[in-house]
């Protein structure tokens, strides 16, 4: 119930900010990014014998003030671990993150900007277990709200500031209380991305 209320509030907020931005002729900003995600779950990292895998996503930014933006994005992460080669036993961790938050940009030297981001995160987590001797089994963590925060840098790619490149380091906090999939399923992400300014 709380999660539905959260999404209703977010949808209303985005509609209000979007309408306000159009009225003031401010840019609508489309975002794409990709990079590495380092999951916090120590048990899964030990099984997979790897500390990271690819994460990718996209979203929008809507200006509130010249240096302050409301942001929304969705990202996906998938990591495999071979448990037993003889039995062809495999575990797959799937995570998706929906971020809604605030981005603040502060000018630095040589046209660079410092990016400070934080907000709420709504994430889904599931583990898929399979082997040559058993059918596939999926364990879902409860859907929960978490939070994120991070820092980055940004630089325009053209004089008119129609496109910009950025690099961010973000931390997601998210825990599961499900006994079958208990633990920390947040993590650290390092991503590179682009902003496309649509006027």
Direct distance between the N- and C-terminal alpha carbons of the chain, in angstroms, rounded to an integer:
37
Q: Can you tell me the distance from the alpha carbon of 38 to that of 54, in angstroms, rounded to the nearest whole number?
A: 9
The answer to whether the Cα torsion of 147, 59, 123, 47 is positive or negative is negative
- Please give the pLDDT value at position 95: 92
- Please give the pLDDT value at position 153: 96
- Please give the chain's pLDDT, 199 residues, in tens: 545 554 444 444 445 444 444 434 557 899 999 999 999 887 777 777 778 899 999 999 988 888 899 999 999 999 887 766 565 678 888 999 999 999 999 998 878 999 999 999 998 888 888 777 777 888 888 888 899 999 999 999 988 778 999 999 999 998 888 787 888 888 999 999 999 988 6
**Cβ-based neighbours of 66, under 8 Å, separated by 6 or more:** none
CATH code for the domain defined by 2-198: 2.40.160.20
123-to-4, 25, 58, 97 alpha-carbon distances in Å: 14, 33, 15, 4
Alpha helices in 24-120 (DSSP H): 42-48
């Amino acid at each position: 119930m709380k999660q539905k209320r959260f999404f209703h509030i977010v949808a209303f907020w985005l509609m209000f900010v979007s309408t306000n931005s159009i009225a003031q002729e401010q840019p609508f900003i489309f975002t794409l990014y990709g990079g590495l995600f380092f999951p916090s779950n120590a048990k899964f990292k030990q099984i997979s014998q790897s500390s990271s895998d690819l994460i990718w996503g996209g979203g929008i930014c809507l200006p509130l003030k010249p240096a302050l933006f409301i942001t929304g994005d969705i990202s996906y992460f998938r990591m495999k671990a071979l448990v037993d080669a003889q039995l062809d036993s495999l575990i797959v961790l799937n995570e998706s993150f929906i971020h809604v938050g605030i981005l603040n940009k502060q000018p630095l030297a040589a046209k660079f900007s410092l990016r400070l981001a934080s907000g709420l995160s709504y994430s889904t987590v599931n583990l898929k277990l399979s082997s040559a001797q058993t059918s596939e089994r999926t364990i879902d963590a409860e859907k929960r709200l978490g939070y994120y925060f991070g820092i980055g840098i940004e630089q325009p790619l053209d004089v008119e500031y129609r496109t910009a490149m950025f690099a961010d380091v973000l931390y997601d906090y998210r825990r599961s209380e499900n006994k079958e999939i208990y633990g920390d399923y947040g993590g650290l992400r390092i991503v590179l991305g682009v902003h496309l300014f649509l006027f």
